[in-house]
Homo-oligomer: A and B are copies of this chain.
Amino acid sequence: MAELSRRRPTIRDVARLSGVSISTVSVALNTPGSASPATRERVVRAAAELGYQPNATARSLNLRRAGSIGLMVPDLSNAYFVNIIAGVEREARDRGYLLVVGATDWQTAAEEQYSSLLRTQRLDGVIVSSGSGLPPASLLELVSVEPVVFVDERVAGFDGHFVGVDNRRAARVAAAYLFGLGHRRIGIIGGPLGLWTADQRLAGYREAAVAAGLDPDSIPLVHGDYQIASGSRAAAQLLADDDARPTALLVANDMMAVGAIAHCRDAGLDVPGDLGIVGFDDIPTASLMTPPLTTVRQPGRELGIAAARMLLDLVDGREPERSVTLPADLVVRGSALPPKGGV
Contact = CB atoms under 8 A, between A and B. Distances in A.
Interface stretch (A118-126, A180-188, A196-204): A118-126
A11 interface: no
A83 B82 CA distance: 11
A95 to B, nearest CB: 13
Contacts of A23: none
A50 interface: no
Interface string A75-105: 0110100110110011001000011111100
A4 interface: yes
A123 B217 CA distance: 54
B102 A89 contact: yes
Given A61-B57, A82-B82, A120-B53, A265 B284 contact: no
A284 B254 CA distance: 14
Nearest to A67: B122
A230 to B, nearest CB: 14
Contacts of A228: 288
Interface of A: 1, 3-6, 8, 53-58, 60-61, 66-68, 76-77, 79, 82-83, 85-86, 89-90, 93, 98-103, 113, 116-117, 119-122, 144-145, 228, 258, 261-262, 265, 284-285, 288-290
Contact of A4 (B79, B86, B144): B144
Nearest to A259: B288
Contacts of A56: 117, 120-122
A10 to B, nearest CB: 11
Contacts of A3: 144-145
A279 B228 CA distance: 22
28 contacts: A3-B144, A3-B145, A8-B121, A55-B61, A55-B120, A56-B117, A56-B122, A57-B121, A57-B122, A58-B61, A67-B122, A68-B122, A76-B86, A77-B79, A77-B82, A77-B86, A79-B79, A93-B102, A98-B102, A98-B117, A99-B100, A100-B100, A100-B101, A228-B288, A258-B288, A289-B289, A289-B290, A290-B290
